[in-house]
Amino acid sequence: MTNMTMIEAIRSAHDNAMEHDERVVVYGEDVGFFGGVFRCTAGLQEKYGKTRCFDAPISELGIVGTAIGMAAYGLRPLVEIQFADYVYPAYDQIVSEAARLRHRSAGDFTCPLVIRMPVGGGIFGGQTHSQSPEAIFTHVSGLKTVMPSNPYDAKGLLIAAIEDPDPVIFLEPKRLYNGPFDGHHEAPVVPWRQHPAGEVPDDYYSLPLGKAELRREGSDVTVLAYGTMVYVAHAAAKETGIDAEIIDLRSLLPLDIDTITASVQKTGRCVIVHEATLTCGFGAELAALVQQECFYHLEVPIQRITGWDTPYPHAQEWDYFPGPARLGRALHKAMEV
Amino acid sequence: MPKASGLSLHVPAPEVRPGDTPDFSGVDIPKAGEARRPDIDVDPKEIRDLAFSVIRVLSRKGDAVGPWANSLSNEELVAGLRNMMTVRCFDARMLLAQRQGKTSFFVQSFGEEAVACAFQSALVKGDMNFPTYRQVGLLISQQYPLKLLMNQIYSNEEDPIRGRQLPVMYSAKDYGFFSISGNLTTQFSQAVGWAMASAINNDTKIAAGWVGDGSTSENDFHAAMVFASTYRAPVVLNIVNNQWAISTFQGMAKGGSATFAARGHGFGLPALRVDGNDYLAVHAVAQWACERARRNLGPTLIEYVTYRAGGHSTSDDPAAYRPKEEGDAWPLGDPILRLKAHLIKQGVWSEQKHSQVEAEIEDEVITAQKAAENIGTLISGSAPSARDMFEGVYETMPPHLIKQRQEAGY
């Protein structure tokens, strides 16, 4: 076991996977010699050579398009999109090609491919370095979409994604790269070494895709969260004194509906929190599923606390970010009846 | 300075429209045998002229002339002729089947059969094509069973891809034929990636990407060219310039460029332009480019100058946007007739032999068609069960899909 930041855990997953499986090839913008703008691939080119870890031209479409060809050939490409905000030029390749290849060819060709990208705000990134586009991937049949919330999960889930026979979108909340951020931006950064989930095995291990994790047991209200919002939920529970049960979804698709249902049926109350915009966000799917599965257990309407339906602002970042105060108000509201 | 007049937008248009007399006087066709044949390790910048010329082997008289001639034996040419004739007959039968309502849609290769058939003869087993929907010749020239193609077109229960795709979107990995998407140009960067993977693995296989003139406008085209150039991928990038993208003439995609091949120059790629209706020239150029890729000398861009003699698809009527006589006026002729004339001149073919083979091929195609139709057509209700559409979305079906499948009644 080693104390790792999420960056180090992701790097360790790359290292283990490249060691474990010669088919794993890593590339993206600034990923090779420099080791990535967030340093997630640092040292890999030196260790595995420049045909297994290399820089790519600035073309997300080209990165994903070539990776699909490599996957069809039989390699296991693991590519980085520098910011999720840049993935849109590759969207056609992801939706019409990677996601459909197995189905449309009846298994003649497959696409075992991992596309990693940092998501979320809280770093003064403005509208082009802050978005959380998970819902545009969960909407697509044939893709799996994962978002870890800590170093231990990040490594285990990333290795599972690499092993997976189908394309996986791996979303990394960049505000969690260095510590478990709870939305109190004015407070000093808490490093991962002070958090139990910062303890990460050095060896190869994987965690199953499609399993949520109960982060905090509680009896009052279920909070469905993922990524950075897991810590915001903890802060809100602590600050309101409301006994929230916090579920970290980890994998959005496949979704662990059983864990969600068991919790909401127990508490009778549900608040969903995500950083992405509200309308047609992943919270809409969660709300629909919860009402379908738990309607007769619900005491109050399901609430969604999310980023506003505006572009992610720069100077007003903390007015946009769904922090513990907003979530706390929602928890109080859930307990009014 | 005089005051500038107001700006005006340039919108290109073809020279002629329905009712006009076809005019290809602007298409510069050099004589057969004129274009030089460089060594395969040539520096791309030494052969820029070849992107503005047209490499041709078959002369008007039916002789094979110039430095690109003699890449194939007469026996191989006879086989090539037979392959092209099979494609044409297959197309005609399937077009008719669609008109008879036996399937929803069809795309033929009419007029450009030489491009795919001759190119395939330059590949070896293990290489991978990333085709568009107009390269069935890649499969037919490898003797891929016609019945399987028809099963796919009819979406019947023996369709290799289980009724999941529009007719002609074949997939045949064992024949080096990547699953056709139907989205344009997406396969171009995938071909480059496949070739990069082969190089990463120190393999010997090469890839071939295919696009049409119209879809060179897509971002994917440029992404593929950048990656091919940067990593010197062992790939042959093919542009089939058949003059028309549905109703849009090639000038709309070409813009101010002199030729499509010339687009390779900005990426430092060797770029060749070839008579796409000349089986010998297509093969010779394909062989040159494949050899170059195989020797780790990198990618080549090839433009095949041809003419889409039929409609874009069964959903298209070209009489609405181009003169009906345009195909007959096309200066590079018909690929089958040209190879036939050459083989007759060589003394290895005759009108009688041609008619006899034509009849044999028709028998073969009709036999395959009957066998496929015995299994079923799109309208005969023989499609794979709807249960099947839930399969293969993922390798292992996730719980939400199992639930939906049950809800659908399976």
Please state, in angstroms and rounded to a whole number, the distance separating the CA atoms of residues B206 and B208.
Answer: 7
Buried b (16+ CB within 10 A) or exposed e, A118-157: bbbbbeebeeebbbbbbbbbbebebbbbbbbbbbbbbbbb
Helix residue spans in chain A (DSSP H):
6-20, 44-48, 60-73, 91-92, 101-104, 134-138, 151-163, 229-240, 257-267, 282-294, 317-320, 324-334
The single-letter DSSP state of residue A205 is -
What's the pLDDT at B4? Answer: 80
* pLDDT at B1 > cutoff 70: no
Specify the CATH superfamily of domain B44-376: Thiamin diphosphate (ThDP)-binding fold, Pyr/PP domains (3.40.50.970)
Please state, in angstroms and rounded to a whole number, the distance separating the CA atoms of residues B369 and B93.
Answer: 8
Question: Per-residue pLDDT tens for B305-319?
Answer: 999 999 999 999 999
Question: Per-residue pLDDT tens for B212-238?
Answer: 999 999 999 999 999 999 999 999 999
The predicted model scores a pTM of 0.97
* pLDDT at B207 > cutoff 90: yes
Question: Taking CB atoms and an 8 Å cutoff, what residues of chain B touch A96?
Answer: 181, 183, 186
* pLDDT at A337 > cutoff 90: no
Please state, in angstroms and rounded to a whole number, the distance separating the CA atoms of residues A216 and A149.
Answer: 14
* pLDDT at A63 > cutoff 80: yes
Shortest Cα distance, chain B CAs vs residue A247, angstroms: 19
A25 lies within 8 A of chain B by CB: yes
What is the percentage of chain A residues whose pLDDT exceeds 70? 100
What DSSP line would sit under B331-351, residue for residue?
TT--HHHHHHHHHHHTTS--H
A89 lies within 8 A of chain B by CB: yes
Give ∠ CA B290-B293-B298 in degrees, rounded to 5: 140
Residue A91, Cβ neighbours under 10 Å: how many? 16
Q: What is the mean pLDDT of chain A?
A: 97
- B381 pLDDT band, cuts 50/70/90, is confident
What DSSP line would sit under B211-236, residue for residue?
EESGGGGSHHHHHHHHHHHHHT-SEE
B157 lies within 8 A of chain A by CB: no
What's the pLDDT at A241? Answer: 98
- A25 pLDDT band, cuts 50/70/90, is very high
Question: Per-residue pLDDT tens for B249-301?
Answer: 999 999 999 999 999 999 999 999 999 999 999 999 999 999 999 999 999 99
> Are residues A101 and B179, on separate chains, in Cβ contact within 8 Å?
yes
Phi/psi at A264 (5° precision): -65, -35
The single-letter DSSP state of residue B393 is S
The single-letter DSSP state of residue B72 is S
Please state, in angstroms and rounded to a whole number, the distance separating the CA atoms of residues B139 and A172.
Answer: 43
- B5 pLDDT band, cuts 50/70/90, is confident
Question: Per-residue pLDDT tens for A227-276?
Answer: 999 999 999 999 999 999 999 999 999 999 999 999 999 999 999 999 99
Domain ranges of chain A: 2-200, 213-334
* pLDDT at B53 > cutoff 90: yes
Nearest residue, CB atoms, B196 vs list A70, A96, A97:
A70
A70 lies within 8 A of chain B by CB: yes
**What CATH code is assigned to A2-200?**
3.40.50.970
Q: Is 3.40.50.920 the CATH number for A213-334?
A: yes
The residue from A14, A103, A129, A195 that is catalytic is: A129
Query: Which one, of A182, A173, A175, A147, lies nearest residue A161 by Cα?
Result: A147
What's the pLDDT at B3? Answer: 75
Q: What's the Cα-to-Cα distance from A104 to each of B209, B221, B254, B317, B372, rounded to whole Å?
A: 19, 23, 32, 28, 21
Instruction: Tell me, yes or no, if the two domains A2-200 and A213-334 fold the same way.
Output: yes
Question: Per-residue pLDDT tens for B156-171?
Answer: 999 999 999 999 999 9
Shortest Cα distance, chain A CAs vs residue B21, angstroms: 41
Phi/psi at A253 (5° precision): -150, 120
Q: Is the ipTM of this complex over 0.95?
A: yes
B326 lies within 8 A of chain A by CB: no
Is A129 tagged catalytic? yes
Domain ranges of chain B: 44-376, 384-410
